[in-house]
Amino acid sequence: MIRNIMLFTVLFSEEPPNLIKVLQRIYQGKILIFDCKIDQGALGNTDRDDMLQLLGNLLDNSCKWPKSTIRCTIVTGPILAITIEDDGPGCSSDQIELITQRGIRIDEEIQGYGLGLAIVKEIAQSYHFQLHLDKSATLVGLRVRLTSTSGETRHDIQALTST
């Protein structure tokens, strides 16, 4: 049985700036420069809490590592693309293979529990998003990219199967 899911439209022009303000308060001891390019459109048929948790975990993780710059790019439309990258030390290929596993931490000196990227991975999988981690070509730190594989999200698929 598929339960009735309340759908929200996440206005990306409003939510990330609010998240960034919260993160700037949390990391007030750091000088963080956020370079954000966010489509003014909306991403329909996604759960607002899922998207806030996904973005919150990605942005929080990026705030822990940079020298100063975090870039956030969100392109909406038939295909969603979210890219978060920073100018921190980045990760080796071996580390990238590990960091989306629950409880795995690369640096024990940085505050955290090793859950953020694992949660991002689970949310991405539930929406059929592709998750790709690599080195940022321009900022040199870690780059996390999420893209929808088609115009359909998990909720669209659930709605189709319940009719």
What is the overall mean pLDDT for the chain? 77
Q: Is residue 109 part of a domain?
A: yes
Cβ contacts of 124 within 8 Å, gap of 6 or more: 54, 130, 131, 146
Does position 111 have pLDDT exceeding 70, yes or no? no
Query: Does 130 reside within a domain?
Result: yes
| Helix, strand or coil, per DSSP, at residue 9 | strand
Query: 3 in a domain, yes or no?
Result: no
Any domain includes 46: yes
Q: Which domain holds residue 42?
A: 8-156
Q: How confident is the model at residue 156 (pLDDT cuts 50, 70, 90)?
A: very low
Query: Which pLDDT does position 18 carry in this prediction?
Result: 83
pLDDT category of residue 10 using cuts at 50, 70 and 90: very low
Q: Any idea what the CATH number is for the domain that residue 47 is in?
A: 3.30.565.10
Q: What amino acid is encoded at 39 in this protein? A: D
Q: What is the pLDDT of residue 134?
A: 94
Domain count, the chain: 1
User: Quick check: is 123 in a domain?
Assistant: yes
In this prediction the pTM is 0.78
